Structure 1
Amino acid sequence: MPLADWVSMDTGQSKRELRRRILAARRARSAQERAAAGLRIRDAVLELCAATGSPTVAAYYAVGSEPDTRSLVAALAARGHRVLLPIVTPSGDLDWAVYTGPESLAPAGHGLLEPTGTRLGADAVAEARVLVCPALAADRAGYRLGRGAGCYDRVLAAAGEQTLSLAVVYDDELVDAVPVEPHDRPVRAVVTPGRGIVWTHHR
């Protein structure tokens, strides 16, 4: 379906259609492509974190067909950053705990791996100077398409004013526009394997 067709749909319908298309395309990517994308994303984010001097970084541990962020998480910790990873609570909000290595993770629902350390509360994300968010697509205005639960919109609302928020997508998932609803919160940059850090209108 051409971009113009789903933009003209009802917002909820267009989000569902775009999610369906992107998830199907992601499933078609090889493990090698996902891993290679992850290494390029890792390098771009590491350079940014070094430039900002961020002691604490909030990130996530990618699963399935997502662009790989596991090498990023490991590299951040190896460089001395305090890395916060999310824990999905029964309410659907995210709690946070510190990543201290692969052994500090345990399986959770939907194939996720979550940190097993002390839970720091939802507000801990405000301590992060850099916040790395998952997304299915993002646009140059900074709006991201998530999976529909809204948890990262709430995280973005709770982040500190100085937090540099990034959405992680593949190159072709950085699009002209994504469907936007009133609760959607923008990010300040998008990172893709081929383009590196792309600043949005909300920089």
Structure 2
Amino acid sequence: MTEIEAALIAQGVLYCGVDEAGAGPLCGDVVAAAVILDPSRPIDGLDDSKKLTEKKREKLFELIQERALAFAVARATVEEIDRINILKARMLAMTRAVNALAIEPHHVLVDGNRLPELQMPATAIVKGDSLVQSIAAASVLAKVTRDREMLEMDKRYPGYGFAAHKGYGTAVHLEALKALGPCEIHRRSYAPVKALLTES
């Protein structure tokens, strides 16, 4: 537990954790989640979603929704990412997630080293998804939501391999991009996609 988290608990401050998924991929929305955990209903095994198996993430996804005091998932779209850049889009998605919570937190703990625009005090925590349970829970909700969406996109836009690589710039994805060209959900501002559009 981090010092800030211990201090908030000691003062009885209601806080949420927030994190996002999908900054790196070449396509799809960036998804953020905010979670207020219930101290009386702990969830075992919470960790940075990238360190968990898909099976474990799916199980935790259900448990978080069952046991959290409040949770919300929000996004910034591909169009917004291309218009304002991925950093601002990540912050926007996190702001939206916090604002969508059914219970308003008095403090927000954010994964990383930057803070989105919020109405309440907030603290950025580097590697927060490994250190703070509520941020870990948010990372799980964001990643599972986005991964599920990429499975849907795989059906809608076959040939790119979205189900396997979830939109990341793997060799398979880059080959498909060259062969098929970008589809509707590709981020035009990202270098590999931009380069193809410039060539055509």
The structure with the greater share of residues assigned to strand is 1
**Structure that is richer in helix per residue:** 2
Q: TM-score normalised to the size of structure 2?
A: 0.29
Q: Report the TM-score when normalising by structure 1.
A: 0.29
Compare CA radii of gyration and give the structure with the larger one: 2
Q: Relative contact order, CA 8 A, sep 6+: which one is greater?
A: 2
